[in-house]
Amino acid sequence: MTETEPLVRVEGLVKHFPITRGILIRRQVGAVQAVDDVTFSIARGETLGLVGESGCGKTTVGRTVLGLYPATAGAIVIDGHHVRTAKGAELMAIRRKAQMIFQDPYASLNPRWTVGAIVGEPLRVHKLCRDEKERLDRVKELMQLVGLSPRLINRFPHEFSGGQRQRIGIARALASQPLFVICDEPISALDVSIQAQVVNLLEDLQERFGLTYLFIAHDLSMVRHLCTRVAVMYLGVLVEMAQRDEVYESPLHPYTQSLLSAVPVPDPQVARSRKRVLLEGEVPSPINPPGGCRFHLRCPQAEARCATDRPAWRDVGGGHWVACHRV
Protein backbone atom coordinates (compact mmCIF):
# COMPACT_ATOMS: atom_id res chain seq x y z
CA MET A 1 0.00 0.00 0.00
CA THR A 2 1.32 3.42 -0.93
CA GLU A 3 1.15 6.62 1.07
CA THR A 4 -1.12 8.20 -1.53
CA GLU A 5 -3.73 5.49 -1.10
CA PRO A 6 -6.63 7.02 0.87
CA LEU A 7 -6.93 5.80 4.45
CA VAL A 8 -10.66 5.25 4.11
CA ARG A 9 -12.47 4.15 0.97
CA VAL A 10 -16.25 3.69 0.82
CA GLU A 11 -17.83 2.44 -2.39
CA GLY A 12 -21.49 1.97 -3.20
CA LEU A 13 -22.41 1.80 0.48
CA VAL A 14 -26.03 0.80 1.10
CA LYS A 15 -27.71 0.48 4.46
CA HIS A 16 -31.38 -0.46 4.69
CA PHE A 17 -33.13 -1.06 7.99
CA PRO A 18 -35.87 -3.67 7.57
CA ILE A 19 -39.39 -2.84 8.76
CA THR A 20 -41.03 -6.00 10.06
CA ARG A 21 -44.56 -6.84 11.03
CA GLY A 22 -46.06 -9.75 12.98
CA ILE A 23 -45.10 -11.21 16.33
CA LEU A 24 -44.77 -14.95 15.76
CA ILE A 25 -44.14 -14.89 12.07
CA ARG A 26 -42.10 -11.81 11.39
CA ARG A 27 -42.04 -10.76 7.80
CA GLN A 28 -40.35 -7.82 6.22
CA VAL A 29 -42.85 -5.32 4.88
CA GLY A 30 -40.48 -2.60 3.81
CA ALA A 31 -37.16 -0.92 4.49
CA VAL A 32 -35.89 2.42 5.67
CA GLN A 33 -33.44 3.27 2.92
CA ALA A 34 -31.14 5.19 5.25
CA VAL A 35 -28.07 5.13 3.00
CA ASP A 36 -28.27 4.37 -0.69
CA ASP A 37 -25.17 3.99 -2.86
CA VAL A 38 -22.71 6.32 -1.16
CA THR A 39 -19.13 6.60 -2.45
CA PHE A 40 -16.29 8.67 -1.01
CA SER A 41 -12.74 8.40 0.28
CA ILE A 42 -10.70 10.18 2.93
CA ALA A 43 -6.98 10.86 2.54
CA ARG A 44 -4.57 10.38 5.40
CA GLY A 45 -4.49 13.37 7.74
CA GLU A 46 -7.48 15.13 6.25
CA THR A 47 -10.87 15.97 7.75
CA LEU A 48 -13.91 15.17 5.67
CA GLY A 49 -17.04 16.96 6.82
CA LEU A 50 -20.31 15.10 6.28
CA VAL A 51 -23.27 17.47 6.51
CA GLY A 52 -27.00 17.28 6.05
CA GLU A 53 -30.23 17.72 7.93
CA SER A 54 -31.62 15.34 10.53
CA GLY A 55 -32.61 12.01 9.10
CA CYS A 56 -30.43 12.36 5.99
CA GLY A 57 -28.40 9.29 6.96
CA LYS A 58 -25.11 10.91 7.96
CA THR A 59 -24.91 9.19 11.34
CA THR A 60 -25.83 5.87 9.71
CA VAL A 61 -22.95 6.33 7.27
CA GLY A 62 -20.55 6.83 10.19
CA ARG A 63 -21.77 3.83 12.12
CA THR A 64 -21.84 1.57 9.08
CA VAL A 65 -18.31 2.57 8.08
CA LEU A 66 -17.10 1.42 11.49
CA GLY A 67 -19.10 -1.79 11.26
CA LEU A 68 -21.38 -0.85 14.17
CA TYR A 69 -24.25 -1.48 11.76
CA PRO A 70 -23.75 -4.26 9.20
CA ALA A 71 -23.84 -2.79 5.69
CA THR A 72 -26.50 -4.00 3.25
CA ALA A 73 -24.15 -3.67 0.26
CA GLY A 74 -20.96 -1.95 -0.84
CA ALA A 75 -17.32 -1.92 0.16
CA ILE A 76 -15.64 -0.25 3.15
CA VAL A 77 -11.85 -0.27 3.35
CA ILE A 78 -9.95 1.25 6.28
CA ASP A 79 -6.13 1.21 6.06
CA GLY A 80 -6.28 -1.77 3.71
CA HIS A 81 -8.71 -3.82 5.78
CA HIS A 82 -12.12 -4.74 4.41
CA VAL A 83 -14.52 -3.91 7.24
CA ARG A 84 -17.40 -6.07 5.99
CA THR A 85 -15.44 -9.33 5.78
CA ALA A 86 -12.91 -8.88 8.58
CA LYS A 87 -12.94 -11.45 11.38
CA GLY A 88 -10.87 -12.28 14.47
CA ALA A 89 -7.52 -10.51 14.69
CA GLU A 90 -8.18 -8.37 11.62
CA LEU A 91 -11.48 -7.15 13.08
CA MET A 92 -9.69 -6.28 16.32
CA ALA A 93 -7.07 -4.39 14.32
CA ILE A 94 -9.79 -2.32 12.61
CA ARG A 95 -11.42 -1.59 15.94
CA ARG A 96 -8.12 -0.40 17.30
CA LYS A 97 -7.34 1.79 14.29
CA ALA A 98 -10.80 3.34 13.91
CA GLN A 99 -12.60 5.04 16.80
CA MET A 100 -15.67 7.14 17.35
CA ILE A 101 -16.61 10.22 19.38
CA PHE A 102 -20.33 10.51 20.01
CA GLN A 103 -22.72 13.45 20.10
CA ASP A 104 -24.11 12.99 23.54
CA PRO A 105 -21.40 13.00 26.20
CA TYR A 106 -24.11 12.11 28.71
CA ALA A 107 -25.34 8.92 27.04
CA SER A 108 -22.05 7.58 25.68
CA LEU A 109 -20.20 7.23 29.00
CA ASN A 110 -21.07 4.49 31.50
CA PRO A 111 -22.35 6.39 34.57
CA ARG A 112 -21.12 3.68 36.97
CA TRP A 113 -17.53 3.73 35.74
CA THR A 114 -14.85 6.14 36.84
CA VAL A 115 -13.02 8.22 34.25
CA GLY A 116 -10.02 5.93 34.78
CA ALA A 117 -12.06 2.85 33.92
CA ILE A 118 -13.67 4.49 30.89
CA VAL A 119 -10.45 5.79 29.37
CA GLY A 120 -8.55 2.61 30.31
CA GLU A 121 -11.07 0.21 28.79
CA PRO A 122 -9.68 0.27 25.22
CA LEU A 123 -6.18 -0.31 26.66
CA ARG A 124 -7.46 -3.47 28.36
CA VAL A 125 -9.51 -4.73 25.41
CA HIS A 126 -6.63 -4.31 22.97
CA LYS A 127 -4.02 -5.48 25.53
CA LEU A 128 -1.95 -2.35 25.00
CA CYS A 129 -0.35 -2.26 28.46
CA ARG A 130 1.82 -4.81 30.23
CA ASP A 131 0.45 -4.22 33.71
CA GLU A 132 -1.95 -2.15 35.77
CA LYS A 133 0.72 0.42 36.62
CA GLU A 134 1.47 1.08 32.98
CA ARG A 135 -2.24 1.31 32.23
CA LEU A 136 -2.78 3.87 34.98
CA ASP A 137 0.14 5.99 33.74
CA ARG A 138 -1.22 5.87 30.22
CA VAL A 139 -4.72 6.90 31.37
CA LYS A 140 -3.25 9.89 33.22
CA GLU A 141 -1.25 10.83 30.15
CA LEU A 142 -4.39 10.66 28.00
CA MET A 143 -6.33 12.80 30.48
CA GLN A 144 -3.60 15.41 30.39
CA LEU A 145 -3.58 15.28 26.61
CA VAL A 146 -7.24 16.30 26.41
CA GLY A 147 -6.95 18.95 29.12
CA LEU A 148 -8.34 17.07 32.12
CA SER A 149 -6.48 17.01 35.39
CA PRO A 150 -5.21 13.46 36.17
CA ARG A 151 -6.30 14.10 39.75
CA LEU A 152 -9.88 13.54 38.58
CA ILE A 153 -9.18 9.94 37.55
CA ASN A 154 -11.49 8.43 40.18
CA ARG A 155 -14.44 10.73 39.49
CA PHE A 156 -17.65 9.62 37.77
CA PRO A 157 -19.08 11.17 34.57
CA HIS A 158 -21.89 13.04 36.33
CA GLU A 159 -19.31 15.07 38.23
CA PHE A 160 -18.15 16.70 34.99
CA SER A 161 -19.63 19.44 32.80
CA GLY A 162 -20.72 18.73 29.22
CA GLY A 163 -17.47 19.98 27.73
CA GLN A 164 -15.36 17.95 30.15
CA ARG A 165 -17.41 14.85 29.40
CA GLN A 166 -16.74 15.31 25.72
CA ARG A 167 -13.03 15.45 26.60
CA ILE A 168 -13.40 12.10 28.40
CA GLY A 169 -14.97 10.67 25.24
CA ILE A 170 -12.06 12.01 23.19
CA ALA A 171 -9.49 10.54 25.60
CA ARG A 172 -11.21 7.15 25.35
CA ALA A 173 -11.20 7.33 21.55
CA LEU A 174 -7.47 8.15 21.52
CA ALA A 175 -6.48 5.41 23.98
CA SER A 176 -5.97 2.77 21.31
CA GLN A 177 -3.83 5.14 19.21
CA PRO A 178 -6.23 5.15 16.24
CA LEU A 179 -5.49 6.39 12.73
CA PHE A 180 -9.07 7.31 11.97
CA VAL A 181 -11.68 8.94 14.22
CA ILE A 182 -15.33 9.45 13.36
CA CYS A 183 -16.67 12.49 15.19
CA ASP A 184 -20.47 12.24 15.19
CA GLU A 185 -21.86 15.69 16.08
CA PRO A 186 -19.26 16.03 18.85
CA ILE A 187 -20.11 19.65 19.66
CA SER A 188 -23.81 20.04 18.97
CA ALA A 189 -24.83 19.38 22.58
CA LEU A 190 -22.35 21.96 23.89
CA ASP A 191 -22.67 25.68 24.52
CA VAL A 192 -21.01 28.07 22.09
CA SER A 193 -18.22 29.05 24.48
CA ILE A 194 -17.34 25.37 24.98
CA GLN A 195 -17.62 24.35 21.30
CA ALA A 196 -14.53 26.31 20.33
CA GLN A 197 -12.52 24.58 23.09
CA VAL A 198 -13.43 21.12 21.80
CA VAL A 199 -12.87 22.01 18.13
CA ASN A 200 -9.45 23.48 18.91
CA LEU A 201 -8.59 20.34 20.89
CA LEU A 202 -9.57 18.13 17.94
CA GLU A 203 -7.30 20.22 15.69
CA ASP A 204 -4.37 19.99 18.09
CA LEU A 205 -4.72 16.23 18.39
CA GLN A 206 -4.94 15.84 14.63
CA GLU A 207 -1.74 17.78 14.14
CA ARG A 208 0.07 15.92 16.88
CA PHE A 209 -0.91 12.37 15.90
CA GLY A 210 -1.64 12.79 12.19
CA LEU A 211 -5.25 11.74 12.72
CA THR A 212 -7.79 11.42 9.94
CA TYR A 213 -11.31 12.60 10.77
CA LEU A 214 -14.78 12.06 9.44
CA PHE A 215 -16.61 15.00 11.03
CA ILE A 216 -20.38 14.48 10.96
CA ALA A 217 -22.28 17.67 11.75
CA HIS A 218 -25.20 19.87 10.91
CA ASP A 219 -23.40 23.09 11.89
CA LEU A 220 -22.25 24.27 8.48
CA SER A 221 -20.23 27.17 9.86
CA MET A 222 -18.13 24.92 12.08
CA VAL A 223 -17.65 22.44 9.24
CA ARG A 224 -16.26 25.20 7.03
CA HIS A 225 -13.86 26.13 9.79
CA LEU A 226 -12.61 22.65 10.60
CA CYS A 227 -12.78 20.46 7.50
CA THR A 228 -10.49 20.00 4.50
CA ARG A 229 -13.27 18.73 2.27
CA VAL A 230 -17.03 18.68 2.68
CA ALA A 231 -19.67 16.15 1.55
CA VAL A 232 -23.37 17.06 1.53
CA MET A 233 -26.01 14.39 2.08
CA TYR A 234 -29.73 14.46 1.35
CA LEU A 235 -32.17 11.65 2.08
CA GLY A 236 -29.63 8.84 2.06
CA VAL A 237 -27.48 9.94 -0.87
CA LEU A 238 -24.48 12.21 -1.40
CA VAL A 239 -25.37 15.19 -3.58
CA GLU A 240 -22.08 17.12 -3.58
CA MET A 241 -18.50 16.84 -2.34
CA ALA A 242 -15.51 19.14 -2.85
CA GLN A 243 -12.75 21.14 -1.20
CA ARG A 244 -14.15 23.21 1.64
CA ASP A 245 -14.12 26.69 0.08
CA GLU A 246 -15.22 25.31 -3.29
CA VAL A 247 -18.41 23.94 -1.68
CA TYR A 248 -19.15 27.17 0.21
CA GLU A 249 -18.23 29.59 -2.57
CA SER A 250 -19.35 27.71 -5.70
CA PRO A 251 -21.94 25.12 -4.70
CA LEU A 252 -23.26 23.30 -7.76
CA HIS A 253 -26.12 21.25 -6.39
CA PRO A 254 -29.41 23.14 -5.82
CA TYR A 255 -29.77 21.49 -2.40
CA THR A 256 -26.32 22.65 -1.29
CA GLN A 257 -27.16 26.15 -2.51
CA SER A 258 -30.34 26.39 -0.49
CA LEU A 259 -28.85 24.69 2.57
CA LEU A 260 -25.97 27.17 2.69
CA SER A 261 -28.24 30.15 2.13
CA ALA A 262 -30.36 29.09 5.12
CA VAL A 263 -27.49 29.21 7.62
CA PRO A 264 -27.85 32.33 9.76
CA VAL A 265 -24.81 34.63 9.76
CA PRO A 266 -23.86 36.42 12.99
CA ASP A 267 -23.61 39.79 11.26
CA PRO A 268 -26.75 41.93 10.94
CA GLN A 269 -25.57 43.80 7.85
CA VAL A 270 -24.79 40.59 5.98
CA ALA A 271 -28.04 39.05 7.26
CA ARG A 272 -30.06 41.90 5.76
CA SER A 273 -28.43 41.74 2.34
CA ARG A 274 -28.13 37.97 1.94
CA LYS A 275 -30.45 36.21 -0.50
CA ARG A 276 -32.06 33.04 0.75
CA VAL A 277 -33.09 30.17 -1.53
CA LEU A 278 -36.07 28.97 0.50
CA LEU A 279 -37.07 25.37 -0.06
CA GLU A 280 -40.69 24.37 -0.35
CA GLY A 281 -42.01 21.61 1.88
CA GLU A 282 -40.01 19.18 3.95
CA VAL A 283 -37.76 16.15 3.55
CA PRO A 284 -39.75 13.09 2.33
CA SER A 285 -39.69 9.79 4.23
CA PRO A 286 -36.73 7.47 3.60
CA ILE A 287 -39.16 4.53 3.73
CA ASN A 288 -40.51 5.40 0.33
CA PRO A 289 -38.11 7.97 -1.10
CA PRO A 290 -38.96 9.66 -4.40
CA GLY A 291 -37.62 7.98 -7.54
CA GLY A 292 -35.12 9.62 -9.89
CA CYS A 293 -33.25 12.35 -8.05
CA ARG A 294 -34.28 12.20 -4.40
CA PHE A 295 -34.37 15.98 -4.27
CA HIS A 296 -36.55 16.57 -7.35
CA LEU A 297 -39.82 17.19 -5.41
CA ARG A 298 -38.32 20.22 -3.65
CA CYS A 299 -35.82 21.32 -6.26
CA PRO A 300 -36.40 24.79 -7.73
CA GLN A 301 -34.58 23.72 -10.92
CA ALA A 302 -36.10 20.25 -11.48
CA GLU A 303 -36.95 19.12 -15.01
CA ALA A 304 -38.71 16.02 -16.38
CA ARG A 305 -35.80 13.55 -16.27
CA CYS A 306 -35.10 14.39 -12.60
CA ALA A 307 -38.29 12.50 -11.66
CA THR A 308 -37.28 9.35 -13.50
CA ASP A 309 -33.48 9.04 -13.81
CA ARG A 310 -31.19 8.95 -10.86
CA PRO A 311 -28.31 11.37 -11.53
CA ALA A 312 -24.85 9.81 -11.55
CA TRP A 313 -22.36 10.60 -8.77
CA ARG A 314 -19.42 11.95 -10.74
CA ASP A 315 -16.32 14.12 -10.57
CA VAL A 316 -16.99 17.25 -12.64
CA GLY A 317 -13.38 18.37 -12.39
CA GLY A 318 -10.77 19.07 -9.76
CA GLY A 319 -12.27 16.61 -7.29
CA HIS A 320 -15.62 18.38 -7.22
CA TRP A 321 -18.23 15.63 -7.10
CA VAL A 322 -21.91 16.20 -7.72
CA ALA A 323 -25.05 14.20 -8.47
CA CYS A 324 -27.32 16.46 -10.55
CA HIS A 325 -28.60 16.33 -14.14
CA ARG A 326 -28.40 20.10 -14.46
CA VAL A 327 -24.69 20.36 -13.77
Partner 1 sequence: MERPLLLDVADLQTRFHTPEGTVYAVNGISYRLHEGETLAMVGESGCGKSVSMMSILGLIPIPPGEIVSGTARYRDRDLLRMSEEELEQVRGKEIAMIFQDPMTSLNPVLTVGKQITEMLQKHMGMKPAEAADRAVQLLEWVGIPDARRRLADYPHQFSGGMRQRVMIAMQLACTPSILIADEPTTALDVTIQAQIMDLVIRLREEVGMAMIWITHNLGVVAGLAERVMVMYAGFIVEEANVDDLFQDPRHPYTIALLAALPRVDRRRDRRLKSIPGAPPSLLVKPRGCPFAPRCEFVIARCQSEMPPLELIAPRHKIACWVDVLRGGSR
- Judged by CB under 8 A, the residue of 43, 152, 153, 263 near partner 1 is 263
- Judged by CB under 8 A, the residue of 27, 151, 269, 312 near partner 1 is 269
Burial bucket for residue 246 (CB in 10 Å: 0-12, 13-18, 19+): middle
Binding flag, residue 287, partner 1 (CB under 8 A): no
- Judged by CB under 8 A, the residue of 19, 68, 125, 196 near partner 1 is 196
272: Cβ contacts below 8 Å, ≥ 6 apart: none
Task: State the minimum distance, in angstroms, from the CB of residue 188 to partner 1.
Answer: 11
- Judged by CB under 8 A, the residue of 38, 148, 199, 241 near partner 1 is 199
Binding flag, residue 327, partner 1 (CB under 8 A): no
Binding flag, residue 267, partner 1 (CB under 8 A): yes
Q: Binding segment for partner 1 among 26-34, 42-50, 103-111, 193-201 (CB under 8 A)?
A: 193-201
- Judged by CB under 8 A, the residue of 26, 82, 208, 225 near partner 1 is 225
Neighbours of 68 (CB within 10 A): 11
Q: Which residue lies nearer to partner 1 by CB, 11 or 53?
A: 53
Burial profile 270-302: b = 16 or more Cβ within 10 angstroms, e = fewer: eeeeeeeeebeeebeebeebeebbbbbbbbeeb
170: Cβ contacts below 8 Å, ≥ 6 apart: 101, 146, 186, 198, 201, 202, 205
Binding flag, residue 248, partner 1 (CB under 8 A): yes
Binding flag, residue 270, partner 1 (CB under 8 A): yes
Neighbours of 224 (CB within 10 A): 18
What is the C-alpha separation between 240 and 260, in angstroms, rounded?
Answer: 12
Burial bucket for residue 76 (CB in 10 Å: 0-12, 13-18, 19+): buried
What is the C-alpha separation between 54 and 304, in angstroms, rounded?
Answer: 28
Task: State the minimum distance, in angstroms, from the CB of residue 318 to partner 1.
Answer: 17
CA distance from start to end of the chain: 35
Q: Which residue lies nearer to partner 1 by CB, 4 or 193?
A: 193
Q: How many residues bind partner 1 (CB under 8 A)?
A: 46
Contact by Cβ (8 Å): 13, 74: yes
Q: Which residue lies nearer to partner 1 by CB, 61 or 98?
A: 61
Binding flag, residue 195, partner 1 (CB under 8 A): yes
Binding flag, residue 194, partner 1 (CB under 8 A): yes
- Judged by CB under 8 A, the residue of 110, 149, 161, 250 near partner 1 is 161
Binding flag, residue 271, partner 1 (CB under 8 A): yes
Residues of this chain that interact with partner 1 (CB under 8 A) are: 53-54, 161, 163-164, 191-197, 199-200, 203, 218, 220-222, 224-226, 244-245, 248, 258-272, 274, 276, 278-279, 282-283
